[in-house]
Amino acid sequence: MDLTKPSEIRELASQHGIVLTRLRGQHFLIDRGPLMSVADSADLKKTDTVLEVGPGFGTLTRELAARAGRVVAVELDKRFLPVLDETVGEFPNVRIIHGDILRLPPTCLPDRQATYSLPPDFKIVSNLPYGITSDFLWKTMAEWDPPPERLVLMLQREVGERLAAKPPRMNLLAVMAQTFGTVELIRRVPPGSYLPPPKVESAIILIIRHRKPFAEREAILRLAKIGFSSPRKKIAGTLGKGMKDALLRAGIDPNSRPETLSLEQWRALSQPGA
Annotated binding site: 27, 29, 54, 75, 100, 127
Contact 189, 127 (CB under 8 A): no
Task: List phi, psi (to 5°) of 238.
Answer: -75, -45
Q: Using CA atoms, how far apart are residues 232 and 254, in angstroms rounded to an integer? A: 13
Residue-by-residue DSSP string for 19-51: PP-GGGT--EE--HHHHHHHHHHHT--TT-EEE
The annotated binding site for S-adenosyl-L-methionine is made up of 27, 29, 54, 75, 100, 127
Q: Using CA atoms, how far apart are residues 163 and 175, in angstroms rounded to an integer? A: 8
Q: Using CA atoms, how far apart are residues 129 and 52, in angstroms rounded to an integer? A: 11
**Residue 152 C-alpha from the chain's centroid:** 7
Question: For residue 39, which amino acid is it?
Answer: A
Tell me the longest C-alpha to C-alpha distance in the chain. Answer: 66
Contacts of 15 (CB under 8 A, 6+ apart): none
